[in-house]
């Protein structure tokens, strides 16, 4: 009975101490209530701001977006970017876990113990209540914890580089699709102008036919070429719609808003903005471009109108690096290569850990014990310990072999990537230079085919030329414009590809109004 009374007294004392602690804590909470509320409001505001920044961005109808705007939207909306950001958080958390080994460990335990002995018919019982607390601090691990921390740091660095590489790939995709919309817009305007040229030719041929100056076959051919021009226009609309869908997809926009994108120095159009919206294919497309009926015996005088949509005096901005400089920059700056190197270095730390994992841990420990039995006793102990984990020599051997193999795989991956970078930079750079050299030649072709079209139509109007000569000139001029638009697009994509390969994918400047 006396023992039970002592135990109950101890429990009541502990309960009273807990209540006192709670009371002190409540008083402190009441004193700091305003401060806590302010901190909670501030924290909630920060969480809301972070959620707002991480929320997907939608494009409003009628918006005018620059290339930088599109890139910002893509970087905000991209699930891949969000994934790599979370992987960075995960790597940072693992780094914190590895550092935790250097922090002290606290353990608490309590229990009620009952013991009953029966010796020669004599029963003896002994009940007790115990409370234990211990504090352990790692002093020295012979390099094991250090290897883990270095490995975690290197994995964190690799995660940062992976995020960086995904970022520049996203920028490249947006730039490519942005250029594609501008090119598709230009090509659609070229095809629309081609319809107008063929429409005029049809009207003139019809007037000449009704006057008896041209044959029926010329009129039929004019109708065929006009129909082909309309078909080409529909095809250009399909290309435009595909480019719009690709641009929206690269920005992870699920809706189909109507917005405009600004022109760039690399795509200099007469229009300041290019509309971005899916086209409606109505049934009156042919009616829209149908040539008006001319009065019997009427003549139709026409002159060739130059397509001023695109500037054929294209100014190529000199690429700031030579081929050798580009290769050196790629090996120095490529985030994927630097990530591979960081992973390789982390595996070296893993190999180091496996080689020393059998070594002991030197720790300092302090233990406090309270025991309530027939008498109340307490104790405090301080000790230095050398703790060995279970050692399995065979397991350690093959873990070391595994770590060596992983390290060799990482070295092979780095070697392959370095060779791929060298080849890819060379290929992209040479392609960019070749396209750059073609630009002035294609500009000359556009000018020459336009002059040829003027001459052919002039000869046709005065009766010296034939219909096929005019149509060949029209087709050649249209193809020259198509080739020019495609060349400008290919050059800009090739230049962006080089920038991607050397990890120098800067956001371009937009052209300002003059």
**Residue ranges per structural domain of the chain:** 1-55, 56-501
Residue with tokens 């996203």: 170
How many residues are listed for the chain in this entry? 514
Confirm if 487 and 438 have CB atoms less than 8 A apart: yes
How far apart, in whole angstroms, are the C-alpha atoms of residue 474 and residue 479?
9
Q: What are phi and psi of 222, to 5 degrees?
A: -65, -40
Structure-block tokens of residue 288: 């829209």
Write down the pLDDT at residue 275.
53
Could you say which residues of the chain have pLDDT below 70?
1-57, 114-126, 268-313, 373-374, 506-514
Q: How many Å separate Cα 400 from the centre of its chain?
A: 37
Structure-block tokens of residue 27: 């008083």
Q: Is the dihedral of CA 42, 44, 46, 52 positive or negative?
A: negative
Torsion angle, alpha carbons of 493, 498, 503, 507, to 10: -40
Structure-block tokens of residue 215: 């044959």
How far apart, in whole angstroms, are the C-alpha atoms of residue 1 and residue 503?
81
Residue with tokens 């009926």: 293
Q: Which fold has domain 56-501?
A: Outer membrane efflux proteins (OEP) (1.20.1600)
User: Using CB atoms within 10 A of its CB, is residue 431 exposed (0-12), middle (13-18) or buried (19+)?
Assistant: middle
How far apart, in whole angstroms, are the C-alpha atoms of residue 475 and residue 453?
9
Write down the pLDDT at residue 354.
93
How far apart, in whole angstroms, are the C-alpha atoms of residue 298 and residue 302?
13
As a three-state string, the secondary structure of 444-495 is HHHHHHHHHHHHHHHHHHCCCCCHHHHHHHHHHHHHHHHHHHHHHHHHHHHH
In our burial notation (b when 16+ CB lie closer than 10 A, e otherwise), range 194-210 reads: bbebbbbbbbbbbbbbb
What pairing do the DSSP bridges indicate for beta strands 259-262 and 122-140?
A: unpaired
How far apart, in whole angstroms, are the C-alpha atoms of residue 471 and residue 480?
14
pTM of the full structure = 0.77
Residue with tokens 């309960």: 15
As a three-state string, the secondary structure of 302-324 is CCCCCCCCECCCCCCCCCCCCHH
Q: What are phi and psi of 107, to 5 degrees?
A: -130, 140
Write down the pLDDT at residue 301.
35
Write down the pLDDT at residue 128.
74
Confirm if 307 and 453 have CB atoms less than 8 A apart: no
């Amino acid at each position: 009975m006396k023992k039970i009374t002592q135990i109950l007294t101890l429990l009541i004392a502990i309960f009273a101490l807990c209540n006192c602690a709670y009371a002190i804590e409540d008083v402190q909470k009441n004193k700091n209530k305003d401060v806590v509320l302010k901190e909670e409001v501030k924290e909630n505001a920060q969480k809301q701001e972070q959620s707002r920044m991480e929320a997907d961005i939608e494009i409003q109808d009628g918006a005018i977006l620059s290339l930088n705007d599109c890139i910002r939207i893509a970087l905000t909306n991209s699930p891949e970017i969000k994934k790599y950001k979370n992987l960075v958080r995960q790597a940072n958390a693992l780094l914190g876990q590895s550092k935790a080994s250097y922090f002290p460990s606290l353990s608490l335990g309590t229990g009620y113990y009952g013991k009953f002995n029966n010796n020669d018919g004599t029963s003896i019982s002994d009940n007790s209540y115990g409370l234990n607390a211990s504090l352990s601090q790692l002093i020295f691990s012979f390099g094991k914890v250090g290897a883990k921390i270095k490995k975690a740091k290197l994995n964190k660095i690799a995660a940062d580089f992976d995020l960086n590489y995904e970022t520049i790939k996203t920028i490249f995709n947006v730039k490519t699709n942005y250029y594609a919309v501008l090119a598709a817009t230009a090509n659609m305007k070229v095809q629309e102008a081609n319809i107008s040229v063929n429409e005029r030719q049809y009207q003139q041929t019809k007037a000449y036919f009704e006057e008896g100056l041209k044959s029926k076959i010329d009129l039929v051919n004019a109708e065929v070429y006009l129909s082909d021009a309309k078909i080409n226009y529909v095809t250009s609309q399909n290309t435009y719609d595909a480019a719009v869908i690709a641009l929206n997809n690269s920005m992870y926009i699920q809706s189909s808003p109507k917005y405009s994108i600004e022109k760039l120095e690399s795509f200099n159009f007469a229009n300041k903005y290019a509309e971005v919206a899916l086209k409606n294919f109505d049934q009156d497309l042919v009616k829209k471009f149908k040539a008006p009926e001319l009065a019997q015996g009427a003549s139709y005088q026409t002159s060739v109108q130059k397509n001023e949509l695109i500037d054929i005096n294209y100014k190529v901005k000199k690429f700031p690096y030579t081929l050798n400089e580009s290769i050196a920059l790629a090996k120095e700056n490529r985030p994927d290569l630097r990530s591979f190197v960081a992973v390789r270095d982390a595996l070296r730390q893993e190999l180091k850990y496996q080689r020393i994992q059998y070594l002991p841990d030197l720790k300092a420990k302090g233990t406090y014990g309270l025991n309530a039995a027939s008498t109340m006793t307490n104790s405090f102990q301080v000790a230095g310990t050398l703790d060995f984990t279970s050692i399995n020599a065979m397991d350690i051997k093959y873990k070391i072999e595994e770590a060596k193999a992983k390290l060799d795989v990482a070295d092979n991956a780095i070697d392959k990537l370095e060779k791929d970078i060298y080849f890819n930079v060379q290929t992209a750079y040479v392609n960019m230079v070749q396209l750059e050299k073609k630009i002035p030649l294609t500009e000359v072709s556009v000018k020459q085919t336009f002059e040829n079209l003027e001459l052919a139509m002039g000869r046709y109007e005065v009766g010296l030329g034939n219909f096929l000569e005019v149509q060949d000139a029209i087709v050649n001029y249209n193809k020259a414009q198509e080739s020019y638009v495609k060349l400008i697009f290919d050059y800009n994509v090739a230049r962006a590809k080089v920038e991607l390969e050397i990890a120098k994918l800067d956001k371009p400047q937009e052209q300002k109004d003059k």
